[in-house]
A and B are shown apart, each in its own frame.
Chain A
Amino acid sequence: MRTDPSSSGPGFHPASAPDYLPRRQLGELQLRRLQAIVTRAWERVTVFRERMSANGLTPADVRRLEDLGRLPFTVKSDLRDAYPFGLFASPMEEIVRLHASSGTTGKPIVVAYTASDLQVWQSAMVRTFAACGLHAGDVLQNAFGYGLFTGGLGAHSGAEALGATVIPISGGNTERQLMVMKDFGVTALCCTPSYFLHLMERAREEKVDLGRLRTGVFGAEPWSDAMRRHIEAEGGIKAYDIYGLSEITGPGVASECSAQDGLHVFEDHFYPEIIDPESGEVLPDGREGELVLTTLSKQAMPMIRYRTRDITTLETEPCPCGRTIRRIRRIGRRSDDMFIVRGVNVFPSQIETAILAVEGVLPHYQIVLTREKGLDEVEVRIEVTPEAFGDTVSALEELREALSRSVEHVLGIRVKVHLVEPRSLARSEGKAKRVVDQRRI
């Protein structure tokens, strides 16, 4: 039995076998599964059948994987319109689990799982944790929220199946998180990157160390490479990015490996395409565009060509870790969290990178958009830290200037930078709210 997790090489678990399939064999598997799932959706989901028919398509038209590009897209509003159960392809007797996403506007979206769907999800999470170097012997603190959100239970079942010791602490209660982390000898943590920042900050304030923690498995919100460097240096851990969404299964759609250079998509179950978000055309591998996912195995709620709104590229070069499944670049932006200010497209991640480029600044920030006399203004509020705080007004003015310059350099438009007191910006127990749009348009 391995007792020292750090002595093992890049993670492998028997469940990870499909990660290493020869491409041709993988392609055959994908096509077989695609044909079956399109047939299932066609037979059982009215709206999908209607859209196929409107384009003169039937499941028989899917002869090659490339034919997927001819099928209609599914978008988030389809799930809302079908609220609660309209897109289910299984009778309720076969559905063993429901989850729902937090609806920012109106009704949430509901997703369903059969017993076999849960197994697929679990295996995808085992492969995720294995890729992040975890194995039996690790003690995992799962600070993803348990409940309707897929993060908590998804990570939980995968980590248990991997053989790790799972602490189902869920989100929130930072003091208890820190106590448990130290007292239980936690080696790995799951949460959002912004919550980990919060944990590190509190640990520092309370002068407690992070104990044996060596791995962070972070997901559910975009974060930059600069943020990763900060987290790894400050927390003394390896920080891995994982990707998933409830509509597809939850966490476990894609994960970084030891190379930390792109996220492997578990494409034997979740087939990725990159499209031009404007035209909807499929783009070749290596081109940046919107990620579209098709669930190849999901019985209860097949998603055919689901538009994620996440912007990335699909990489085909072999990964040093040996996995053959393709990688997506880390997702720094979504096509819908982009905002337009004075005609300039801005992603919060660009601002984050610019802020972190300035020495001594911690990444607690908020972007506030206002409109004054018909003109859009960008205000960036940044919390002052002991490292960044100089005793003189001129030192603070210089800091503010440096931050303004850095952000303006990236965006090409003037921004107002406000230095604010520590802990004055709202802290996330889950996903950080980085952009507040107060414009009345």
Chain B
Amino acid sequence: MKLTQLSLFLENRPGQLRVPCEVLGKAGVDMLTLTLADTREFGILRLLVRDAARARIALEEAGCVVKETEVLAVEVPDRPGGLAEVLAGFDRAGIAVEYAYALASGSRDGRAVLVFRVADPDDAARKLPEAGVRVLSREEVLGG
């Protein structure tokens, strides 16, 4: 149920985002989505890729600081109020969201996919389905 997200430390200056993207391109690793958290001085690039292990090796060889984090991919109905319903499920399950971002592939068949970081992904993966939230399997996310 869990996905491996790669987080990279970046200094906040022009051109810094390009480096890891080029490294992944050369390594032939397909990016599913990315999101950037930034402050005035530094940023964190969070990546979901098809082959996290290979990506990590390539990035570390290029001198990047990489951290692996487990995240959950959750199906969200692509209509007004859809995300609110999902988040209500999080509340029922007592799961707090640290951050979330969307999968770049957009919505299909009226359903979008959001990636959630929570404190305890294993616990969340058990409790969320009981609260009516559909957590996607690795195959459902990576296979598509």
The residues in A between 108 and 129 inclusive whose CB is less than 8 angstroms from any CB of B are none
Does A205 interact with chain B (Cβ within 8 Å)?
yes
Asked if A423 meets B63 with Cβ closer than 8 Å, knowing A391-B46, A392-B44, A393-B39, the reply is yes
Does A420 interact with chain B (Cβ within 8 Å)?
yes
Q: Is the CB of A386 within 8 A of B46?
A: no
Q: Is the CB of B9 within 8 A of A396?
A: yes
Which of B11, B61, B65, B117 has its CB near the most chain A CB atoms (within 10 A)?
A: B65
Q: Is the CB of B60 within 8 A of A205?
A: yes
Closest to A388 in B: B65
Query: Nearest-CB distance from A21 to chain B (Å)?
Result: 52
B residues in contact with A418, CB < 8 Å: 41
A181–B39 Cα distance when bound, in Å, is 42
Q: Is the CB of A397 within 8 A of B39?
A: yes
Query: Nearest-CB distance from B10 to chain A (Å)?
Result: 7
A residues in contact with B42, CB < 8 Å: 396, 419
A residues in contact with B67, CB < 8 Å: 386, 389-391
Chain A proximity mask over B28-53: 1 for CB below 8 Å, otherwise 0: 00000000010101101010000000
Does A337 interact with chain B (Cβ within 8 Å)?
no
A356–B41 Cα distance when bound, in Å, is 22
Does B98 interact with chain A (Cβ within 8 Å)?
yes
Does A188 interact with chain B (Cβ within 8 Å)?
no
Q: Is the CB of B65 within 8 A of A422?
A: yes
Chain A proximity mask over B55-67: 1 for CB below 8 Å, otherwise 0: 0000011011111
Closest to A393 in B: B37
A391–B117 Cα distance when bound, in Å, is 10
Q: Is the CB of A422 within 8 A of B63?
A: yes
A188–B16 Cα distance when bound, in Å, is 39
A418–B16 Cα distance when bound, in Å, is 16
Does B137 interact with chain A (Cβ within 8 Å)?
no
A residues in contact with B37, CB < 8 Å: 392-393
Chain B proximity mask over A374-405: 1 for CB below 8 Å, otherwise 0: 00000000001110011111001100000000
Does A209 interact with chain B (Cβ within 8 Å)?
no
Closest to B7 in A: A391
Chain B proximity mask over A310-333: 1 for CB below 8 Å, otherwise 0: 000000000000000000000000
User: Chain B interface secondary structure, helix, strand, loop or mixed?
Assistant: strand
Does A424 interact with chain B (Cβ within 8 Å)?
yes
Instruction: Please pick, from B16, B61, B69, B117, the residue contacting A205 in the complex, using a CB distance under 8 A.
Output: B61
Q: Is the CB of A421 within 8 A of B39?
A: no
The residues in A between 344 and 390 inclusive whose CB is less than 8 angstroms from any CB of B are 384-386, 389-390
Query: Nearest-CB distance from A377 to chain B (Å)?
Result: 15
A385–B67 Cα distance when bound, in Å, is 10
Asked if A386 meets B11 with Cβ closer than 8 Å, knowing A392-B98, A393-B44, the reply is no
Query: Nearest-CB distance from B13 to chain A (Å)?
Result: 10
A residues in contact with B39, CB < 8 Å: 393, 396-397
A residues in contact with B66, CB < 8 Å: 386
A423–B39 Cα distance when bound, in Å, is 21
A residues in contact with B60, CB < 8 Å: 205
Asked if A386 meets B69 with Cβ closer than 8 Å, knowing A396-B44, A397-B39, A421-B9, the reply is no
Asked if A421 meets B65 with Cβ closer than 8 Å, knowing A391-B44, A396-B44, the reply is yes
B residues in contact with A422, CB < 8 Å: 63-65
Query: Nearest-CB distance from A60 to chain B (Å)?
Result: 65
Query: Nearest-CB distance from A386 to chain B (Å)?
Result: 5
Chain A proximity mask over B1-24: 1 for CB below 8 Å, otherwise 0: 000010101110000100000000
Q: Is the CB of A389 within 8 A of B9?
A: yes
B residues in contact with A205, CB < 8 Å: 60-61, 63
Q: Is the CB of A420 within 8 A of B44?
A: no
Closest to A419 in B: B42
A55–B9 Cα distance when bound, in Å, is 63
A residues in contact with B117, CB < 8 Å: 391
B residues in contact with A420, CB < 8 Å: 11
Chain B proximity mask over A198-215: 1 for CB below 8 Å, otherwise 0: 000000010000000000
Which of B16, B37, B42, B99 has its CB near the most chain A CB atoms (within 10 A)?
A: B42
A258–B64 Cα distance when bound, in Å, is 39
Query: Nearest-CB distance from B80 to chain A (Å)?
Result: 30
A residues in contact with B46, CB < 8 Å: 391
A residues in contact with B11, CB < 8 Å: 419-421, 424
Asked if A389 meets B98 with Cβ closer than 8 Å, knowing A396-B9, A397-B39, A421-B9, the reply is no
Q: Taking beta carbons and an 8 Å cutoff, which residues of A are in contact with B?
A: 205, 384-386, 389-393, 396-397, 418-424
Q: Taking beta carbons and an 8 Å cutoff, which residues of B are in contact with A?
A: 5, 7, 9-11, 16, 37, 39, 41-42, 44, 46, 60-61, 63-67, 69, 98-99, 117
| Additional A-B contacts beyond A205-B61, A390-B67 (6; CB < 8 A) | A205-B63, A391-B7, A391-B46, A393-B37, A419-B41, A423-B63
A-B contact pairs, 26 of them (CB 8 A): A205-B60, A205-B63, A384-B9, A384-B65, A385-B65, A386-B65, A386-B66, A390-B67, A391-B5, A391-B7, A391-B46, A391-B69, A392-B98, A393-B37, A396-B42, A396-B44, A397-B39, A420-B11, A421-B9, A421-B10, A421-B16, A421-B63, A421-B64, A422-B63, A422-B64, A424-B11
